[in-house]
Amino acid sequence: MGLSEADALDVDRIRGDFPILEREFDGTPLVYLDNAATSQTPEQVIDCISDYYRTYNANVHRGLHQLSQEASIAYEDAHDRVAAFIGASGGRKEVVFTKNTTESMNTVAYAWGLAELGPGDEVVLTEMEHHAALVTWQQIAKKTGAEVKFVRVDDEGYLDMDHARELITDDTEMVSVVHVSNTLGTVNPVSELTDIAHDHDSLVFVDGAQSVPHMPVDVEAIDADFFAFSGHKMCGPTGVGVLYGKERLLDAMQPYLYGGMMIEKVGFEDSTWHELPWKFEAGTPVISEGIALAEACDYLDDIGMERVERHGEQLAAYAYDRLSEFEDIRILGPPGDDRAALVSFNLGTVHAHDVSEILNANGVAVRAGDHCTQPLHDKLGVTASARASFYIYNTREEVDELVEALDQARELFA
């Protein structure tokens, strides 16, 4: 897929916003290709965090003094900004700040799942789910007596949608699906899955950890009941995630974390809960992180999410083509022109950890392991894979450097 000159990112300008990209290791420039794990943070977001701590650091919703008022307003507004970024018209009432996607998943699993699931009920996942979903629903099923079923992944790395239609029945209470596979790069048809699930009165939870940073997302167009993602994968800070939920569902759910801030009235015998979203944000929340996440949304919107998506797709397609030149490299997942901004692969019989070490010696940072998808790797017949994942500041030249470094690994382990 090509980019028009008008749509192409000004990567040189963007790279100037990321001070860490200036690092060198023994004179070798950093080539950072581990963005699916954590993206880098631009100066604008770093300055936002610094400004909070330098000028209005205070706890929120607990003080009448000026600093607390300023912090509270910024924190509340951040919920609205994030809601707008993902197309949630309900604003802050539909956006809960958590620590990460995993905590968002657990919030729904415990606050909704424990109350609603029981023997005879089914939760449908896919074989490409991240452990954050797979392990969470697996354990909730054990506690409730529900059954977990998995939609098959075919040989090319796509979901078997005929199998999905077979598995999702009137007994299905929840369908939990990853929007973009963090191992295969597959972009799943979440809107189609949502239609199927809703035809059976099932709810849908979409794991958007790998989609929100890389493409325009509209949770209402998808019609997701719940949707989760993390700030640290989208130019934001670590320690903040987002749980979107339809207001009527969040309103009906009981919190599973208790303490300060999430209460309305407390007595010796009973307590009542604060309004949305605060009833799910017990204790001192992720104040600076949430405010900085809103700044990251501004940063990405200024670039344009359509441009972000095209750039990532182009780099993934180029990396796929370059790696496909070598017979000893096995690429996991769909063809290069039909995947999101990552490529997982294996080099012959060389373990992915050894490949990563050689790449690291050449300044190239990739992820190596099972990428929190052990069952998927087992299905694919590999114990681990190396993963190169791309973002707005990466270039074709960096893909070429990856390929050149792989030549050294090939020679070393020949």
H helical segments located in 86-150? 101-108, 114-116, 131-144
Q: Does residue 87 come out as left (phi exceeding 0), alpha (psi in the -120 to 50 range) or beta?
A: left
- Residue holding tokens 């993602």? 229
**Which H helix or E strand runs over 74?**
helix 66-85
The string of DSSP codes covering 275-342 is STTGGG--SS--HHHHHHHHHHHHHHHHH-HHHHHHHHHHHHHHHHHHHTT-TTEEEESS-TTSS-SE
With contact defined as beta carbons under 8 Å apart, do 364 and 28 qualify? no
Give the SS3 label for residue 355: helix
For residue 354, the 8-state DSSP code is: H
Residue 168 DSSP symbol = -
End-to-end CA distance of the chain: 35
CA distances from 158 to 151, 179, 290, 317, 333 (A): 10, 12, 34, 17, 8
Signed CA dihedral, 179, 182, 375, 245: sign only: negative
* Identity of residue 210: Q
DSSP string computed for 132-160: HHHHHHHHHHHHHT-EEEEE-B-TTS-B-
Asked about 372 being catalytic, the answer comes back as: yes
What does the alpha-carbon distance between residue 244 and residue 122 come to, in Å, rounded to a whole number? Answer: 22
One-letter amino acid at 358 equals I
Of these residues, 48, 235, 297, 372, which one is catalytic? Answer: 372
Closest among 237, 217, 337, 220 to 286, alpha carbons compared: 237
What is the C-alpha to C-alpha distance for residues 310 and 391, in angstroms, rounded to an integer? 11
By annotation, the residues acting in catalysis are: 372
